[in-house]
Chains A and B, each alone.
Chain A
Amino acid sequence: MELWLTILEQGLIFGIMTLGVYITYKILDFPDLTVDGSFPLGAAVAASLLQSGINPFIATILSFGAGALAGGVTGILHTKLKITNLLSSILVMIGLYSINLRVMGKANIPLFQEKTIFTNDLMPIYIIAFITIFMKICLDLFLKTKLGFLLKATGDNPKLITSLGIDIGTIKIMALMLANGLVALSGAIMAQHQRFADVGMGTGVIVMGLAAIILGETVLKNIPFIYATTMAIIGSILYKASTAFALKLGFPATDLKLITAIIVVIALALRYKDIKLPWRFKELLGGGSSATNTESI
């Protein structure tokens, strides 16, 4: 039971990060490695603010802002200086490593005395679930607005955005800010949950995010009318469960990154295979759901 609760908590915290990666990777089609730097940035900002006694909720919100700034820099490098998308995000990721050390002042900040968002009578899972679901609903609503439509169309067909009279660079910068804000928020909550912030806690976060998205898609794609954001969050929980399962099998914790990579490979390999699930909505509804995957053409 304890294990399942931990999986759920961690899965939901990483779920917020996954929402961010979903924006860049799935919607914008932008391989954004900034994430590996903005996740610990969120943790670093939250931890150092908490140390100086700031209200934990304000500290958490400010960490969102810090992540948004980092994403904004990636966006400006890409759109204004015309550096390729992958390279501009790698540059910001590397730069953030030093910035995170500056923010924290040292490589590791323990948070045992400080008040955090979990310092109250509520069980952590309720707080985490509330924040994650709240962010998910906000993102779902945002994607239904005019601006959200532009974001979706940007990844789909950049030419359309220009012909609508919109500067595509602005939309990309905005999307990267939003995505990295979410990632930093996730990092801030993670630091408070595990009660420390570490400069190395961002390594491989992007791969975890991808793993969660692909896993969620692979397993849940046959469910009709499911939101992609829901798939991302459930994917994140599934990912956490599968790593926990691997550890249970007796792998040492140091193998975790390798296991992550293997999970991604397996999920990618299975992506276009029709997995037979015990629940088969497709048959119940009479095949009307086959239009969910329309990426091609």
Chain B
Amino acid sequence: MLQIQNLYKTFQRNTINEKTIFSNFKVDINKGDFITVIGSNGAGKSTLLNLISGAIQADEGNIILNKKDLIQLPEHKRSKIISRVFQDPSFGTSPSMTILENLSMAVNKGKKFNLSMGVYKENIPRFKEVLSQLSLGLENMIDTKVGMLSGGQRQALSLVMATISNPDLLLLDEHTAALDPKTSERIVELTEKIVLDKNITTLMVTHNLHQAINQGNRLLMLHQGEIILDIKGEEKKSLTIEKLLSYFDKIQDNQFISDRLLFS
């Protein structure tokens, strides 16, 4: 469904700060997969999402979604079939517009934005129904400006807006990291519900190991631009935090040793 092949990305090429993130990176993702992605800072998690969404252009390689190579397409064209929820709750919505107006834009994604009316009254019952599934009471305040909502409410709305047009691929970039633990948990529950209901192929980057283990059917651990751990199926179900931490420790041990060798 999504194939990433021979992906290369180097930042600040030909300077002293040259940093290669991905070198011949590849991964195959099946339709309907809900994949959690973990890794330490600088592992390339966010860069991977940015490369897929087109926010950053790759140096080389292929990103094939539904048999179509996206690598040459600019970000806004890829956005027609890829949705994304960012860490910052303010990135997914327009704060000076109402919930209704925001949803009306989101539902029109991929279609023409012309001179027809921005809000169709016929859509309101459908919007209210979707919002009521969030159990946040948003369905009773559709004429409220989004700027008045809390971070959690906004992120829930961002999630609804990202998925209401049934994208082929959903990218979640630590989308609960800016929220308090309770809200974060609620948003993760909602994410799982929406993703499974709509059967949207999803990549979720997270720093929360609980989330990484409990959500989804496959787990990828990135380190220095490579997949060092790929757990799926039954193995994923039996995964525990202890096991995962031992993997983390192993990497860090390696680094520690190499550092020690260097300085001895």
Complex CA–CA separation, A146 to B110 (angstroms): 13
Tell me the residues in window 60-103 of chain B with beta carbons closer than 8 Å to chain A beta carbons. 74-77, 79-80, 83-84, 86, 90-97, 101
Tell me the residues in window 107-125 of chain B with beta carbons closer than 8 Å to chain A beta carbons. 108-110, 112-119
| Residue from A160, A166, A291 within 8 A of B91 (CB atoms) | A160
Chain B residue contacts of A297, Cβ below 8 A: 90, 95, 147-148
| Residue from A144, A166, A296 within 8 A of B76 (CB atoms) | A166
| Residue from B84, B97, B113, B114 within 8 A of A163 (CB atoms) | B84
In the complex, residue of chain A having the shortest beta-carbon distance to the beta carbon of B101: A149
Complex CA–CA separation, A149 to B94 (angstroms): 10
Q: Is the CB of A157 within 8 A of B91?
A: yes
In the complex, residue of chain A having the shortest beta-carbon distance to the beta carbon of B78: A165
Complex CA–CA separation, A188 to B144 (angstroms): 40
For the side of the interface on B, what is the size category? 35 or more
Return A228 CB to nearest CB of chain B, in Å: 10
Tell me the residues in window 133-168 of chain B with beta carbons closer than 8 Å to chain A beta carbons. 144-145, 147-148, 162
Complex CA–CA separation, A22 to B84 (angstroms): 31
Q: Is the CB of B77 within 8 A of A165?
A: yes
Residue B191 is within 8 A (CB to CB) of chain A in the complex: no
Tell me the dominant secondary structure on chain B's binding face.
loop
Residue B36 is within 8 A (CB to CB) of chain A in the complex: no
The listed residue with most A CB atoms (<10 A of its CB), out of B79, B90, B105, is B105
Q: Is the CB of B118 within 8 A of A146?
A: yes
Given A142-B115, A152-B96, A163-B162: A294 in contact with B148 (beta carbons within 8 A): yes
Q: Is the CB of B97 within 8 A of A153?
A: yes
Complex CA–CA separation, A113 to B101 (angstroms): 51
Return B107 CB to nearest CB of chain A, in Å: 10
**Chain B proximity mask over A78-118: 1 for CB below 8 Å, otherwise 0:** 00000000000000000000000000000000000000000
Residue B104 is within 8 A (CB to CB) of chain A in the complex: yes
Q: Is the CB of A145 within 8 A of B114?
A: yes
Complex CA–CA separation, A125 to B162 (angstroms): 50
- Tell me the count of chain A residues lying within 8 A, CB to CB, of chain B: 27
Tell me the residues in window 141-169 of chain A with beta carbons closer than 8 Å to chain B beta carbons. 142, 144-150, 152-153, 156-157, 159-168
Chain A residue contacts of B86, Cβ below 8 A: 159
Q: Is the CB of B93 within 8 A of A157?
A: yes
Complex CA–CA separation, A167 to B79 (angstroms): 10
Return A213 CB to nearest CB of chain B, in Å: 16
Residue B196 is within 8 A (CB to CB) of chain A in the complex: no
| Residue from B95, B101, B114 within 8 A of A294 (CB atoms) | B95
Q: Is the CB of B96 within 8 A of A148?
A: no
Q: Is the CB of B105 within 8 A of A164?
A: yes
Given A146-B113, A149-B101: A167 in contact with B76 (beta carbons within 8 A): yes
Residue B194 is within 8 A (CB to CB) of chain A in the complex: no
Residue A295 is within 8 A (CB to CB) of chain B in the complex: yes
Chain A residue contacts of B93, Cβ below 8 A: 157, 160
In the complex, residue of chain A having the shortest beta-carbon distance to the beta carbon of B92: A160
Q: Is the CB of B76 within 8 A of A162?
A: yes
19 CB-based A-B contacts, threshold 8 Å: A144-B118, A144-B119, A145-B115, A146-B108, A146-B112, A149-B105, A149-B118, A156-B94, A159-B91, A160-B91, A162-B79, A163-B79, A164-B109, A165-B77, A165-B79, A165-B110, A294-B96, A294-B145, A297-B148
Residues of B within 8 A of A (CB): 74-77, 79-80, 83-84, 86, 90-97, 101, 104-106, 108-110, 112-119, 144-145, 147-148, 162
